[in-house]
Amino acid sequence: MIRHLLTCGIGIALLGAMPALSQAPAAPGPPVEAISAQAAGSTPVSYASLTQLNDLLAQLERTSQNTQSDLRALRIDRWKTDSSTKRQSQSNVESVQRNLQAALPEIIAQLRAAPEDMGATFKLYRNLDALYDVLGSVTESAGAFGPRDDFQALANDLNALETTRRAFADRLENLASSKEAEIGRLRSDLKAAQAAQPSAPTTPPKKIVVDNTETPKPAKKKPAAKKTSPSAASTTKPSPSTVQPPPQNQPQPPQ
C-alpha cells in the first residue's frame, strides 16, 4: 500500500513538472514537448495483460454467480444453533449478496474501462478481501450448524474467490513494478531535457526606495544694510541750504 502511494505521488509530480518545462525555449536534444506528450498520453495496454485481466474477470463473474445461487439455497432458519447466531449469519449472507449484485459489477466495469489502472485494480482487490472474510464466516457457520451439502458448496465458492484474490494481488504487484520502471524512465528523460535547455539569465529585481521624510525649508536671510565708506562721505558736498555762513564780528559797547 505504501509502495503504491509513493509510486503514484512521484508519477504525479513528474507529470506535473513536464508541462511547465515545455514552455521553455527549444534547444538541441530530446524536446520536452515530446516527453510531455508521452507522459500525458495513456500507455497502451499489452495483449498479454489484457488477456490476463479478461480471464480473471470472467472467472470472478462465474464465482459470483455460483456464490449467489448457493447463498439463496441456504436455510439458515433450520440450522442447529441459537437465534442470535442465525440472525448474524443471515445478516452476513445479505451483506455478501448486496456486494455481489451491486458493488462488484461496478468495480469490474471500471477496471474493464482502464485495464491497468492502479486505483481500480486495488479497489477490486480490497473488495475481494472483504468478501472473502464475510463469506468465510458464513461458510464456517454452515459447516458447524448446517447441512454438509451447504457447507461443501460454500467452501468451493470460497476457494474460487481466494484463487481470484491471489491472482489480483500478483497482478497488482506486477503493475506497481511496471509503473515504477516507467517513472524511472520519465525521470531520466526529464533530467536529460533539463540539461539540454539553456539557462535563462537572471536579472536582479529593481529596488524602489521611498523616502517619506520631509526636507526642511531653508531660512530666509534678511538683506544686509549698506555701509557708506569714508571716502564716499568725504567726497560728498553739502547742499547750499545746509551750509551756515561764518559768524561776523559785532561791535563791542563803549566802556
* CATH number of the domain bearing residue 128: 1.20.120.230
- CB of 90 closer than 8 Å to CB of 135: no
How many domains, in total, are found in the chain?
Answer: 1
pLDDT at 187: 81
Q: Which residues contact 172 (CB under 8 A, 6 or more apart)?
A: 4, 118, 121, 122, 125
Instruction: Render each residue's pLDDT in the chain as its tens digit; 255 residues.
Output: 444 444 454 444 444 444 443 343 334 444 444 433 344 345 688 899 999 999 999 999 999 999 999 999 999 999 999 999 999 999 999 999 999 999 999 999 999 999 999 999 999 999 999 999 999 999 999 999 999 999 999 999 999 999 999 999 999 999 888 777 778 878 877 887 888 877 666 666 777 766 666 666 666 666 665 555 555 555 555 555 554 555 555 555 554
> Residue 130 domain-assigned?
yes
pLDDT in tens, 166-188: 999 999 999 888 777 778 878 87
> Residue 208 domain-assigned?
no
> Residue 137 domain-assigned?
yes
For residues 172 and 166, what is the distance between their CA atoms, to the nearest angstrom?
10
pTM score: 0.59
pLDDT at 91: 96
> Residue 240 domain-assigned?
no
pLDDT at 6: 42
pLDDT at 141: 96
pLDDT at 12: 42
For residues 95 and 248, what is the distance between their CA atoms, to the nearest angstrom?
157
> Residue 244 domain-assigned?
no
CB atoms within 10 A of CB 44: 9
> Residue 254 domain-assigned?
no
pLDDT at 42: 54
> Residue 80 domain-assigned?
yes
> Residue 253 domain-assigned?
no
- Tell me the three state secondary structure of residue 227: coil
Range of the domain at 14: 2-196
pLDDT at 250: 54
